[in-house]
Chains A and B, each alone.
Chain A
């Protein structure tokens, strides 16, 4: 009785305004995505006359067909997938090693090593010395340059170390008493318990590698090794699309290019949207842990 009574209570006007206000914010936040979808699916005339705003006009898939028909796109996509996979694996293993070893409080010298890692958050050699080192190692114009020089993220290291520190000590002690070696403790006890944090870290790293563009700009010269983001940039802001588009399409290419651009944007963002639900499940916790100090 009480329940239904209270449910019938008048909703205060303030609450209604609040909900509407938030809905407006959400719309503003989503609108750019709608814009991309609308442009990428619209017909040539609709884009030319500037009628496209919220939804596709003269729906057609030709922009997507054209973009997916480019071998360049597929080559870049493959490069990015390779870099993301190799990079995530490398980062995950190194971060795991660092975080696990330095979470053991009996390890002599752990303060020094942790300090060595944390110090890099506050001071770095900067862009040019790092560039020269990478070049000196012969990594210039190699895909390795896109993940090896930034394999470990200090924040992820802190998050993971905090996680390992908080694992119940009794489990490891029990395993040690039963004669398990350090490696066995890690493989049989710690890792199975760490799957959620490893998944989170893998997602963080993978999204980072997928989105990273500056490293590619710095280190990659050969257009055949362009990553997706670098390709996207040259399509969006360079002349690449306009000139080649003109050859295929003839007169209307300038406007066609706008749909094409937005289709490219959509294609390169879809993988992020696909993993987003999983990402979202973990990152709030990750952010909170990461904001704790080392």
Chain B
């Protein structure tokens, strides 16, 4: 019986596969791309467990267990890079998260269509500017000698501020640049949530004599609470990930002790000093921590009754 069903089903399946040959042909370069540029490098992480030798390559080098990891875990610079990554990400989050919501709420209150649209267009723009350009403008504006901001401060009688060369001020500048670049972009998701709030709720509240502020606190904010929570969890789950562009381009030798983050450390160690095994090990460690955080965050969002984030 079973055999018969399978025998009859198999040609059917094959027929279906054959009828989709054009689609498979389309997938062929796609799969090749993913295998070559994503999955072979994934196998390449094995060099983190090897005594890597350039001439022997990833396959030929002898295994060495966790030696490389022992080495990086005992390195002070590695822990410093992790600390700096967390400090920069958290500082950015603390400024970015509430400001994005405040700007979204403000934009949502604007009833003049043209004004709203123009404001949005301008706020979204910095997202599309490259980090090289942003860092170039920032250097021109924030530098201690001849920077525009310091010129302005000087003209009202303040001392020049070392925005780019003092550790604390550099973190401040880094946060400002990030917020400037991404705040408009961040409002998109909140504005979409805000536009979905039921109008009748406002009307009812208005008739009941609720003030504008009361409507904000009792209708608007509760309606987007779940989006806020999910966005916060999503951003927290990315705490260990940091783009390389901003710290590398804004940073300089004077602030290296706060601007050296995981990604720049991997770059400098691996590419500039050709310590492939160590740099790979750090990357792998970061990926694994990221996956753990992401899974935990997903579980947590589901536990509090939201849709998962994966």
Hey, which bits of chain A sit against chain B, CB under 8 A?
12, 14-15, 18-19, 21-22, 25-26, 28-30, 32-33, 35-36, 39, 50, 52-53, 94, 97-98, 100-102, 104, 106-108, 113, 116-117, 120, 122-134, 137, 148-152, 181-183, 207, 210-214, 218, 229, 232-233, 236-237, 258, 261-262, 264-265, 268-269, 272, 276, 279-280, 283-284, 287-288, 291, 293
Contact = CB atoms under 8 A, between A and B. Distances in A.
Contacts of B188: 284, 287-288
Contact of A124 (B36, B38, B58, B106): B38
Interface in B1-60: 13, 16-17, 20, 22-24, 26-27, 29-31, 33-34, 36-45, 47, 58
Contacts of B110: 18-19, 22
B257 interface: no
A91 to B, nearest CB: 10
A15 B244 CA distance: 41
Contact of A98 (B27, B180, B271): B27
Given A127-B266, A183-B22, A213-B245, A133 B40 contact: yes
Given A30-B122, A128-B266, A272-B129, A97 B139 contact: no
B152 A53 contact: yes
Contacts of A265: 133, 136-137
21 contacts: A94-B29, A107-B23, A108-B13, A108-B16, A127-B263, A127-B270, A128-B276, A130-B41, A131-B270, A132-B41, A132-B44, A151-B33, A152-B33, A182-B20, A213-B132, A237-B136, A237-B249, A261-B140, A265-B133, A268-B133, A284-B188
Give the one of A102, A124, A261 with max B CB within 10 A: A124
Contact of B123 (A15, A29, A127, A128): A29
A120 B34 contact: yes
Given A18-B109, A53-B148, A218-B271, A129 B130 contact: no
Contacts of A106: 16, 20
A129 B135 CA distance: 28
Contacts of A287: 185, 188-189
A104 B103 CA distance: 41
Q: Top 10 A-B pairs ranked by shortest CB distance?
A: A129-B44, A125-B41, A126-B283, A211-B130, A129-B41, A97-B26, A182-B22, A101-B23, A236-B136, A98-B30
Contacts of B40: 125, 129, 133
A261 B136 CA distance: 8
Contact of B266 (A22, A52, A126): A126
A132 B41 CA distance: 8
Contacts of B37: 130, 133-134, 148-151
Contacts of A14: 212
Contact of B128 (A134, A152, A211): A211
A52 B133 contact: no
Interface string B190-220: 0010000000000000000000100000000
B275 to A, nearest CB: 9
Nearest to A53: B148
Nearest to A50: B151
B163 interface: no
Contacts of A36: 137, 140
A262 B143 CA distance: 14
A98 to B, nearest CB: 4
A133 B23 CA distance: 28
A152 B36 CA distance: 13
B246 to A, nearest CB: 11
Contacts of B280: 126, 128-129
A104 B20 contact: yes
A210 B119 CA distance: 25
Interface in B56-85: 58
Contacts of A132: 41, 44, 47, 58, 276
Contacts of A210: 130
